[in-house]
Structure 1
Amino acid sequence: MSLNRRDFLKTTAASAAVAGTVSVFTTTQAEAKIGELQYEGETGKWMSSTCQGCTSWCPIQGLVVDGKVVKVRGNPNSPSMGRICPRPHLAIQQVYDPDRVKTPLKRTNPKKGKGIDPKFVPISWDEAINTIAEQILGLIKAGESHKFVLMRGRYTHMNEILYNTFPKLIGSPNNISHASICAKTEKFGRYYTEGFWDYADFDLDNTRYILGWGTDMVSSNRQIPWFMNQQGYVKDRAKITIIDPRLSATAAKADRWAPIIPGTDSALAVAIAHVILSEGRWNKSFVGDFQDGKNYFIPGSTVPTEVIVDEKSLPVVFEENHTYGVVAWWNLELKERTPEWAEKITGISAKDIRTIAREFSDAGSKAISWVTTGASMQIRGAYASLAAHALNGLVGSVDAVGGTLQGSSAPSGKTPDIKPYLPAEFEAALKQKKIDQRGTLKLGAFNKKTGGGVVTQQVADSILTDKPYDVKVAIGYWNNFVFSINGANVWEKAMEKLPFYAHITTHLAEMSMYADIVLPAKMHMFERYGFSKNKQNLQGYLTIHQPLVKSFADAKTDETEIPFLIAQALAKKGFDGPLRYFQDNFKDPESGKAPTTPEEFDLYAVKQFTKPIWSGESNEKGDTINSWNELLDKGVWKTKKYKIGKKVDNFATETKKFEFYSETLKKVLIEHAEKNKVTVDEALEALNYTCRGELGFVPHYEEAVRHGDEKTYPFIFAEHRSRLNREGRSQNAPWYYEIKDVDPGDVAGKDVTKINPLDGKKLGLKDGDKIKITSVQGSIESEVKLWEGIRPGVIVKCYGQGHWAFGRVGSEVFGSKPRGANNNNLHVYDFERMVGSTPRHGGNARVKIEKI
């Protein structure tokens, strides 16, 4: 099943029209000037800050009139040329939401559970902070400081304070980030081919082909505004193919939509590689060639070590230039992976696979295989990520003009050493195993080494089983794991058991309903200091957060003010290490004054971390900024344009080459096996992969794991992200629902499940019918939307709605009845075990549908 652009426009013009309502909020050069502007007869001032509605982390400006933010726009100094998407506009409703937490709260109902009223009562900041400090001090005195856990969701780069240093300062190794529920497996493919553990940048100005793996660039990637700005130009000079079971906004405007069966991306990737090699289409200047100029990549045949020519035995030599192991990759995996083989697995015709492979390779080094979470955050997603990224190596588009790039990074200050502030008794506590069981036989958590990552989802099971030990005290901020992780009911049970939990949040949410103390947080975009770093358009950048307005609530900054308050409370109780660390190391870089209040600490710490930018010492590396006030005014500092090509033959792999046969992965797999006293094959089996031997060191096909038998659960469940999801924090904003149909196939004001009309007919369903969807994990109720933009056999629902505790808009009845349905009640509580990621894509759950 596949549609080219012409056929698609004939059959689904209406859907394309919806996708065409892409909003690009631009300003004229006159409007872009920072300073005093007239707004509806009143004088207002544009002030710079940062949106974190997604991980683009775009520099923005807010128009402040009479002490209130009334409008937002893109910062004209941004690498995205001042473009933003719809998300920042929704933030105005978020910051002035009447349902925000306005004061610290204390639980008075000791019973915890879903739908149980915590009976929160307002308390003072002193009481709230002292309660938390007493819990922490109790652990320290009992020699159990390691039983404290800090759980972080989204963050600014000020997370170094609360997330990185604070747990260690109180004797705990347990700082648990949200990273493994985000996109870690996407990084796996880059690291184990080119030694780059990060998100990529792309040279969109010069690309000639984009092959998007579950990629909806105008809705969900790490440079949304820049792609929105460039999409029309890219279409003028390049072809775009989108591989996705759902017709996304980007797919609607692509040259080709390939509606793949979820979870089969690795099969498609190796089949494309097979075509490129068997037809001699690889980039010979980057990869190399056979010494005699012949092509020995013959389908079904191993590349020989020698051939007979004129009765003479001659060696077959492939001389590689900037890569390593292409012949081994062919011999171990690719020789049998024909398009005909892949068609039966992926649902994409062999003809279309060949066409995609030829178009992609024709673009050569100006082709991008754009790998995202859709192809990687699967139960066996590591090798899919590896295979899809390896295609960039075959066409030589790695660190190439028009290709995929590592990009630049903006400088910032280093975190001061904490060791002088740690009492001797913390040495053993900090060596305790982390609560998420990273690096164990069945949870490899690979990043650059075994156990180097995080397994966020595992924390719930660890709390329930007391393994490796029982958690007694936890603090969470900017997170809502009860709602946002597969198998939501597992987290519900874990939070019921947790003895003490404090939640720092702008809004009461599902996680808050299990809290003993709730602390109101300042809203990141308009009320607090901080900074974030990212890259797009070949530039790294540092973008500032600053208070544009006084906090709407009696709130504090989560990453700085609150840990300082806890440190002060601990010092009064006789434990002064954290406070001494904060006061000794975070003095005002301009005056030298040590902080005495949380507000001073907040400001001084941000100034210290951003000093390499505003002091002028980085001017030669990028923009010119010479004072703190100038950074606040401009809002963003950018590096010079990335110099393309400097990484070639200097990749951070074991061979310094782009690795098709990954010596880098081989080394880490051996380390993991030896650490756990098993063979590599036994380690691969424990990590739930089917490969054995050297096949584990090359990109290869792994069969998708699906929970639920096909007879009972005939449909594959898949999900997508909305252009309006502020990472799950916009669901109490009325505007979110009013314009929800900006997402192709969705309906304004509703939370629908999209079903292909062919499947709808078989089930006797029509638009608006109420249905119950059930997996082996749980069930939800939803409403039907029949839509041709979904692959038959697959049902798709947008993630984000279904909150049972998120305000009067986000919840139908706050605390008990959700508005819409949470997909994580269907997603099975399982893992991609090599990286430790949560498999929210790839169709891990089969489902059945019942009309109600």
Structure 2
Amino acid sequence: MKQMNIGGSEDHGGSTRISRRTFVKGAAVTGAGLAMGGPTLRALSTDTAHAAPGVMQGEWKSSFCTGCTTWCSLQVFVVNGRAIKMRGHEHSQTNSTYCCPRAHLALQQLYDPDRVKTPMKRTNPNKGKNEDPGFVPVSWDEALDMLADKIMELRDNRETHKFVLFRGRYTAVNSMFYSSVPRIIGSPNNISHSSICAEAEKMRYFLDGQWAYMQYDMPRTRYVLSWGADPLVANRQVSTALRDWGEVLDNARICSIEPRLSGTGSKCDEWLPVKPGYDGALACAMAHVILTEGMWYKPFVGDFKDGENRFVQGETVDEDTFEENHTHGLVRWWNLHVKDTTPEWAEKLCEVPADQIRRVALGFADAAPRCMVWVGGGPGMQPRGSYASMATYALNGLTGGIDNEGGVLAYNSNNYHGLPSHDDFIDSIAEEGNQKEKIDQRGRLEWPNLARGVSGGGVNTNNVADAMLDEDPYLPKVGMGYFANFNFSCPGTQRWAEAMKKFEFFAHMTTHASEMSWYADVVLPVKNCMYEQWATLSHSSHRHTSAAISSPMVDSIWDAKAMETEIPWMLAEKLAERGFDNLLNFYKTFKDPETGREPTTGEELDLYSLKIRTQRYWDPSKHQGGDRFNSWDEFKEVGCWNSDEYEYRHRWSNMGTKTGKFEFYSETLKEALEKHAERHNVSVDRVLEVCNYEARGEMAFIPHHENPYEWGDPEEYPFKFVDYKSRLNREGRSANCAWYNEMKDVDPGDRPYEDVAKLNPRDAERLGVKDGDKIRLTTPIGNIVTTAALWEGCMPGTVAKCFGQGHWAYGRYASKVFGQEPHGANNNDIIPADNDRLSGSTAFYGHIRLKVEKV
């Protein structure tokens, strides 16, 4: 398929032969020259008040970043209707004027000539990776007429449950589309990306009652264990970490616990290269040391009634001898597991030396309570990762680093105002469809997905492909997707390629034609929510939440619409023309809070929904804390609201757990598992057996080590695969940015314009592999070919490769030949589809065995 079929530009099939100099020059023209209309570099200055005569003057406009789930508050420098520069928001109490490289890459995405420029429809009825869709431009009317007709067919046939809405990223008004459209049509199937993001991190809920991301009190900490996280690169709080890390290095000791030397690890005091899949063993050994040495933080945890430490290796303790303060079940946790988890035991499993385990554990405890375990996806996003995630987080409880200075804090409330309810617009047909089982099978015996302790409470994103292939519980017919590309971002990509063929009709809303677009019947161009529409997102760090807004600040180039407001409004109008006006009537309840006017266009709905969502910030009569503004115009001018400062220790003995305390023995998890088991008339042990965990009996309710479930025989597949994220990844969406390719070596061990797999030199020598050789990586589900990079930062026995490249449909830089040949390789092509079933999290780590062959 020629490039022009995505949006009207010429064919660039040979563009990969251009020189690096030309490549970068072209990127500069796209990212600055096109954006600025050719102003001098003086226009980049923030000092526009004293600009020389004839130099274009600009204005800083409020926005936010969607490059990851940090959602930093930003400002954009706009000159003559063109965005040319990014910085952190000067009014933000979270990231302040700091922002990470992802924000700057967004400029190239905004002005990327490979964006979808107009609605497109498929002309080739055959779907498949090797089938050219034959997209041709159509009007918005024609595209939405096609979609509305298909939805009405479902309603006429009482098959509304066979409608599916896929959501990737989103803004804070997403419920008016993601929740309301399926429900009003009559489908239970709103499927988010969440379980391929970080659900296992949230298993801390069963210890401290927080099913949420956390913030970290970096300026006041004295010890950081960065565990399977990469705060300076790819975890949440990146911009804040960049702001604070120098101070952290001055005041604290930092240890990185990962199989590879990460970007954060290169800025730490010590690296503990843990064997993939054995984080739980290491964490429990550290807990053993802290307890046997009497180093737990007694004001938070409590103490033995007579002051004598009875935590002795291998010996059980009478629970009545210990009096807990703000925790529950510490002695039971010790008796069930931790009494035997010595550093020597752990060393044999995790390959971290026992003396290093002991030294780090004691240093960490000595800094209590001003210490933190920063738990990322590494320990938890494994097939048995829930328990490892809890084990690492439990160290925060032992040392009192929960809700304390220098520790781990919950998010401040963002104080958003609620949006109107859709309940009154669900008719009998919709009600019938909404009662059907969700397509992702959540809540079945084998899929507990215990979000917030509820059986089936969390989404099961990657399982949708298998459910569609098996037509179980049924086969969806009509689908929509926005800000999502599950064909690329989910492990086991071939499953999605086959599943997407089965849709009778699929509409993809996207800025760039992607792998998911390839299977679409219509492709609808969406606005970049950072620059081209009204929107808001919030972010917590530095003991505050900041919520910033964006606006239509740039001159629109493409014929794009806002994905969560304008497109749903236009669809609602089309459905109303066909006699189904429930959705349109619902959107008419989104009245301007200032004037009381109903929206009459999608653009008005876009603005009014934002004003409703942020009303507690700018309407004095609705104020509930944080910054005060006296009007919408005043708030709009500043563009950023900040909460009140976080109150330390306010959750002590007031946590969202069943006991209200930090639970080392989780009564909350016990209740959730028992309810799930009761729902299916089985025992908890049977639930764990079906879900592929080792724990039985009381072990099910405590943090503990589980041996990793691995794909592949170690004899045939002797290496473990380490997938990681780049500091330049706007998730999977950066690969068509020239800056991404030019500056790829900002990730330790990576190289510009290449997609490399890193091996330890000792392993490479044994295999006869030299730096720069082509190698094939093979797992039990497939293989990819990439370039070998020899690197000491990769622990022996592992192969590390960055996620983000390997697109075969995203644009001229992302692929060698659009629609045919990728640039680099997609890690998800060789990562088996597996899950941590208690959390619902897709597994990316710890379970993938592979072999390496020189090509």
TM range (shorter): over 0.9
User: What displacement does 1:425 show?
Assistant: 2.6
Maintained 8 Å contact 1:102/1:553: yes
The reply on whether 1:532 has 2:537 as its aligned counterpart is: yes
Give the 3-state SS of the residue equivalent to 1:653 in structure 2: coil
User: What displacement does 1:768 show?
Assistant: 0.7
Maintained 8 Å contact 1:446/1:835: yes
CA distance, structure 1, for counterparts of residue 773 and residue 491 of structure 2: 26
Give the 3-state SS of the residue equivalent to 1:42 in structure 2: coil
User: What displacement does 1:416 show?
Assistant: 1.7
Match of 2:496 among 491, 497, 513: 491
Letter matched to residue 720 of structure 1: Y
CA distance, structure 2, for counterparts of residue 468 and residue 370 of structure 1: 39
CA distance, structure 2, for counterparts of residue 491 and residue 38 of structure 1: 56
Partner of 2:299: 285
User: What displacement does 1:620 show?
Assistant: 6.3
Give the 3-state SS of the residue equivalent to 2:428 in structure 1: coil
The reply on whether 1:349 has 2:364 as its aligned counterpart is: no
Matches within 5 A, 1:722-737: 722-737=726-741
CA distance, structure 2, for counterparts of residue 737 and residue 230 of structure 1: 28
Maintained 8 Å contact 1:409/1:541: no
The reply on whether 1:705 has 2:719 as its aligned counterpart is: no
The reply on whether 1:226 has 2:240 as its aligned counterpart is: yes
Give the 3-state SS of the residue equivalent to 1:98 in structure 2: coil
String of CA shifts for 1:640-680, please: whole Å, max 9, x gaps: 11011111011111111110000000000000100111101
Flag structure 2 segments of 5+ consecutive residues without an equivalent.
Answer: 1-43
User: What displacement does 1:608 show?
Assistant: 1.3
Partner of 2:802: 798
Match of 1:742 among 740, 746, 750: 746
Partner of 1:310: none
Which one is further off, 171-180 or 594-603?
Answer: 594-603
CA distance, structure 1, for counterparts of residue 107 and residue 830 of structure 2: 32
Partner of 2:483: 478
| Structure 2 CA distance for partners of 1:512 and 1:38, relative to 1, 3 Å | farther
Letter matched to residue 201 of structure 2: E
| Structure 2 CA distance for partners of 1:35 and 1:606, relative to 1, 3 Å | farther
User: What displacement does 1:33 show?
Assistant: 8.2
Partner of 2:120: 105
CA distance, structure 2, for counterparts of residue 808 and residue 417 of structure 1: 43
Partner of 1:559: 564
Match of 1:130 among 120, 142, 145: 145
Match of 1:116 among 122, 125, 131: 131
User: What displacement does 1:417 show?
Assistant: 2.1
CA distance, structure 1, for counterparts of residue 370 and residue 431 of structure 2: 52
| Structure 2 CA distance for partners of 1:777 and 1:34, relative to 1, 3 Å | farther
User: What displacement does 1:552 show?
Assistant: 2.2
Letter matched to residue 69 of structure 2: T
Partner of 1:849: 852
User: What displacement does 1:249 show?
Assistant: 1.4
String of CA shifts for 1:496-534, please: whole Å, max 9, x gaps: 222211100000000000000100000121111111122
User: What displacement does 1:93 show?
Assistant: 1.0
CA distance, structure 1, for counterparts of residue 207 and residue 180 of structure 2: 32
Match of 1:187 among 202, 205, 218: 202
CA distance, structure 1, for counterparts of residue 238 and residue 685 of structure 2: 41
The reply on whether 1:169 has 2:169 as its aligned counterpart is: no
String of CA shifts for 1:222-279, please: whole Å, max 9, x gaps: 2111111111111111000000111111111211101111111111111110111111
Partner of 1:92: 107
Which one is further off, 726-735 or 423-432?
Answer: 423-432
User: What displacement does 1:31 show?
Assistant: 7.2
CA distance, structure 2, for counterparts of residue 605 and residue 643 of structure 1: 31
| Structure 2 CA distance for partners of 1:665 and 1:35, relative to 1, 3 Å | farther
| Structure 2 CA distance for partners of 1:39 and 1:751, relative to 1, 3 Å | farther
CA distance, structure 1, for counterparts of residue 812 and residue 407 of structure 2: 46
Maintained 8 Å contact 1:95/1:552: no
User: What displacement does 1:158 show?
Assistant: 1.5
Give the 3-state SS of the residue equivalent to 2:698 in structure 1: helix
| Structure 2 CA distance for partners of 1:288 and 1:477, relative to 1, 3 Å | same
| Structure 2 CA distance for partners of 1:691 and 1:724, relative to 1, 3 Å | same
Residue identity over aligned pairs, in percent, reads 49
Flag structure 1 segments of 5+ consecutive residues without an equivalent.
Answer: 1-29, 306-315
Partner of 1:255: 269
User: What displacement does 1:34 show?
Assistant: 9.6
User: What displacement does 1:99 show?
Assistant: 0.6
CA distance, structure 1, for counterparts of residue 758 and residue 620 of structure 2: 53
TM-score normalised to the size of structure 2? 0.93
Give the 3-state SS of the residue equivalent to 2:841 in structure 1: coil
Letter matched to residue 83 of structure 2: V
Match of 1:606 among 603, 610, 629: 610
Partner of 1:24: none
Partner of 2:338: 334
Q: Which runs of 4+ in 1 moved over 6 A?
A: 30-40
Give the 3-state SS of the residue equivalent to 1:621 in structure 2: coil
User: What displacement does 1:588 show?
Assistant: 1.4
CA distance, structure 2, for counterparts of residue 513 and residue 38 of structure 1: 49
String of CA shifts for 1:627-646, please: whole Å, max 9, x gaps: 22222221210001101111
Maintained 8 Å contact 1:460/1:490: yes
CA distance, structure 1, for counterparts of residue 267 and residue 63 of structure 2: 32
The reply on whether 1:271 has 2:301 as its aligned counterpart is: no
Maintained 8 Å contact 1:49/1:526: yes
CA distance, structure 1, for counterparts of residue 621 and residue 845 of structure 2: 44
Give the 3-state SS of the residue equivalent to 1:369 in structure 2: strand
Maintained 8 Å contact 1:147/1:472: yes
CA distance, structure 2, for counterparts of residue 266 and residue 39 of structure 1: 64
The reply on whether 1:632 has 2:647 as its aligned counterpart is: no
Which one is further off, 622-631 or 680-689?
Answer: 622-631
Maintained 8 Å contact 2:514/2:809: yes
Maintained 8 Å contact 1:34/1:47: no
Match of 1:155 among 166, 170, 187: 170
Matches within 5 A, 1:799-814: 799-814=803-818
Partner of 2:791: 787
Maintained 8 Å contact 2:616/2:623: no
Maintained 8 Å contact 2:615/2:622: no
Maintained 8 Å contact 1:151/1:176: yes
User: What displacement does 1:415 show?
Assistant: 2.5
Matches within 5 A, 1:749-768: 749-768=753-772
CA distance, structure 2, for counterparts of residue 567 and residue 643 of structure 1: 44
String of CA shifts for 1:52-102, please: whole Å, max 9, x gaps: 111111111111112111111111112212101111111111111111000
Letter matched to residue 375 of structure 1: P
Maintained 8 Å contact 1:532/1:543: yes
Which one is further off, 544-553 or 349-358?
Answer: 544-553
Partner of 2:516: 511
Letter matched to residue 493 of structure 1: E
CA distance, structure 2, for counterparts of residue 499 and residue 526 of structure 1: 34
Letter matched to residue 466 of structure 2: D
| Structure 2 CA distance for partners of 1:278 and 1:39, relative to 1, 3 Å | farther
Maintained 8 Å contact 1:723/1:743: yes
Matches within 5 A, 1:394-413: 394-413=398-417
Give the 3-state SS of the residue equivalent to 1:364 in structure 2: coil
CA distance, structure 2, for counterparts of residue 758 and residue 336 of structure 1: 34
| Structure 2 CA distance for partners of 1:418 and 1:35, relative to 1, 3 Å | farther
Maintained 8 Å contact 1:35/1:45: no
The reply on whether 1:66 has 2:80 as its aligned counterpart is: yes
CA distance, structure 1, for counterparts of residue 299 and residue 622 of structure 2: 36
| Structure 2 CA distance for partners of 1:32 and 1:199, relative to 1, 3 Å | farther
Partner of 2:364: 360
CA distance, structure 2, for counterparts of residue 472 and residue 110 of structure 1: 15
Partner of 2:95: 80
User: What displacement does 1:617 show?
Assistant: 4.3
| Structure 2 CA distance for partners of 1:32 and 1:540, relative to 1, 3 Å | farther
| Structure 2 CA distance for partners of 1:36 and 1:665, relative to 1, 3 Å | farther
CA distance, structure 2, for counterparts of residue 443 and residue 735 of structure 1: 41
The reply on whether 1:139 has 2:122 as its aligned counterpart is: no
Partner of 1:647: 651
| Structure 2 CA distance for partners of 1:824 and 1:436, relative to 1, 3 Å | same
Which one is further off, 771-780 or 623-632?
Answer: 623-632
TM-score normalised to the size of structure 1? 0.94
Maintained 8 Å contact 2:73/2:546: no
